[in-house]
Amino acid sequence: MDLTTRYMGLTLRNPLIASPSPLSYTLDGIRRLADGGVGAIVLFSLFEEQLRQQAAEAVRIVEEPAESFPEALSYFPSVADTDGGPRAYVDLIERAASRVDVPVIGSLNGVTPEGWIDYACAMQEAGAAAIELNIYGIAGDPAVSGREVEQRHVDVLERVKAAVTVPVAVKLSPYFSSPGEMALRLDEAGADALVLFNRFLQPDIDPEELVVLPKVNLSSPADARVAQTWIALLRGRVRASLAATSGVEVAADLARYLLAGADVVMTTSALLRHGPSYAAELIDGLSVWMRRKGFAALDEVRGLLAVPAVADPAEHERAGYVTAMRAANAGAYNPW
C-alpha cells in the first residue's frame, strides 16, 4: 500500500511521525525510530530557558569553589567553561540528518527573540528538514490578556519564518478562546503546518506527601478527541498542513485522525510504551485497515469525516460530525 504523504512540503514515506520524546535524545534512539518505520522524526524540544539556566548554573558550580584554596584554584578543566548552548542539539540534528533516511525535524522552545531566531537558524544550518515551534509558555499570569498570548504566537512565528527557509510548523495548545481563529491567524502568518495539540505537562498533587509532582503522563486514546475535533473543523480551511498528536495507541487511532483530516499523525506515547519498532505495527495496521475498508490510497481516507469547509456545516449531515458533537454534548448532561 502506498502511504506516501506530503507534510508541509516534505515527502514522507508514511503519515506516522515520532513526536518529541526521550527516544530522540541520542543518535542511536533516532536510528531506532527511523528503523522502526516512522515517516519523520521530530526531535525532543530544545528549551532555550533551560539552556540559559544550565549555563548560569554551570558557571556557579565552576566558579564558586575556585580561587579559594591554594592547592586547587580550580576544579575543572577549561572544557567545563564551554557552555554548549544549542550545540549538542544542533550536533545531534547534524548527525541524525545524515544518518537516517527520514526527515528530521527540530523542535524549539525559545524565550527571547534572539533565542528563537538564532536557534532556529542553527537547526536549519545543521540540516533540520523543518522546524516545529513548540510555543510552550504557560500563560500563568492572570494579568496577561488572551490577545497578548495570541499575538506572541504570531510574533514568534513571523520572526522565525523571516529567518529560515525550511518549513515551520507551530505546535499549539487547545486553550484559546477560539482555537480556530488562532489557527487561521497562524496560517495567515505563514505557518507551514499546525500541530494539534500540545499537551501541557499538568503537574499532579500527592495528597500523602503534600507535594506537587512534575509528572509526565503518557497520553491515552481519550486524549485524542479534542485534536480530532479541531482537525475535522480546520480541514480545508487552512493552507497549512495539519498534524495530529496525542492519544495514538493502535492503528485505528491513526485511521481516526486521518479520517478527521490530519495530514500526518504523531505519536510519542505508543512508541515509549511499546518501543520504536511499534511504528511498523501501526503502519501495517493502517494498511490492513485500509485494505479491509477498500481504500486504495490515503487521499481517499484523509478528511473523509472532516467538516466540509464549503458550506454551513449543519447542512452536511454526511460527515455526521457536528451532529455527533452536539449529540455527545447534549448526552453529557443526560447520562441515562
Partner 1 sequence: MRVTVDGNEAAASVAFRCSEVCCIFPITPSSPMAELADEWSSKGRTNLWGTVPAVVEMQSEGGAAGALHGALQGGALGTTFTASQGLLLMIPNMYKIAGELTSAVLHVAARSLAAQALSIFGDHSDVMAVRQTGFALLSSASVQEAHDLALVAHAATLETRVPFVHFFDGFRTSHELQTIDALDDEDVRALISDELVRAHRARALSPERPFIRGTAQNPDIYFQARETVNPFYARVPEVVQRAMDRLAERTGRAYQLVEYSGHPEAERVLVVMGSGGETARETVAFLEARGERVGVAQIRLYRPFPARELAAALPQSVRWVAVLDRTKEPGSLGEPLFLDVLAALTEAHGAGERELLPTVIGGRYGLSSKEFTPGMVAAIFEELARKQPRRRFTVGINDDVSGTSLTYDPSFDIEPAETVRAAFFGLGSDGTVGANKNTIKILGDAANLHAQGYFVYDSKKSGSQTVSHLRFGPAPIRAPYLVSAASFVGCHQFRLIEQDEVLQRAAQGATLLLNCPHPPDRVWDLLSRRVQEGILAKQIKLYAIDAGRIAREAGLAGRTNTVLQTCFFAISGVLERERAIEAIKDSIRKTYGKRGEEVVSRNIEAVDRSLAALHQVEVADRISSQLEPRELVSPDAPGFVRTVTAAMMAGHGDELPVSALPVDGTYPSGTTKYEKRNISDVVAVWDSELCIQCGNCSFVCPHSVIRSRYYDPRELERAPDGFRSAELNGAGLPDARYTLQVYVEDCTGCGLCVEACPVSAPQEPGRRAINLDDREPLLENERANIAFFERLPANDRTRVDFGTVRGTQFLEPLFEFSGACAGCGETPYLKLLSQLFGDRLTVANATGCSSIYGGSQPTTPWTVNADGHGPAWSNSLFEDNAEFGLGLRLAADRHTELARRRLSELRDVLGAELVDEILTAPQVRESELRAQRARIAELQRRLDGLDGGGEELGDLSAAPDGGALVADLRSVLDHLIRRSVWIVGGDGWAYDIGAGGLDHVLASGKNVNVLVMDTEVYSNTGGQMSKATPLGAVAKFSAAGKTVPTKDLALQAIAYADVYVARVAFGADPQQTLRAIREAEAYDGPSLIIAYSNCIAHGYDMRDGLTQQYRAVASGHWPLIRFDPAVRDAGGDPFLLDSPRPRMSLADYRRGELRFRSLEAAQPQEAERLLGLAQQVANQRWRLYEEMATRGASEFLSDPRRRS
Minimum Å distance from CB 205 to partner 1? 10
Residue 49 beta carbon to partner 1: minimum distance, rounded to whole angstroms:
9
Cis peptide before 197 (omega within 30 of 0): yes
Helix, strand, coil fractions of the chain, as percent rounded to 5? 45, 15, 40
Smaller CB distance to partner 1: residue 26 or 217? 26
Of 82 and 177, CB closest to partner 1: 82
Residue with Cβ nearer partner 1 (91 or 315): 91
- Smallest gap from residue 79 Cβ to partner 1 (A): 5
The answer to whether the beta carbons of residues 21 and 82 sit under 8 Å apart is: no
Given the DSSP bridges, would you call strands 10-12 and 5-7 parallel, antiparallel or unpaired?
antiparallel
Asked if 248 and 241 count as a contact pair (C-beta separation under 8 A), the reply is no
Least spacing, CB of residue 122 vs partner 1, in Å? 13
Q: What is the number of residues in the chain?
A: 336
Shortest Cβ distance from residue 109 to partner 1 (Å)? 15
Name the minimum Å distance from CB 62 to partner 1.
7
Q: Which residues bind to partner 1, rule: CB under 8 A?
A: 25-28, 51-53, 55-56, 58-85, 87-88, 91-92, 95, 112, 114, 209-211
Chain center to CA of 165: 20
Residue type present at position 124: Q
CA distance 15 to 12: 7
Judged by beta carbon, residue 77 or residue 142, the one nearer partner 1 is 77
Using the minimum distance from each CB to partner 1, give the nearer residue, 111 or 184: 111
Q: Which is nearer to partner 1, 148 or 206 (CB)?
A: 206
Q: Collapsing DSSP states into helix, strand and coil, what is residue 66?
A: coil
Residue 216 C-alpha cell reads as: 509526565
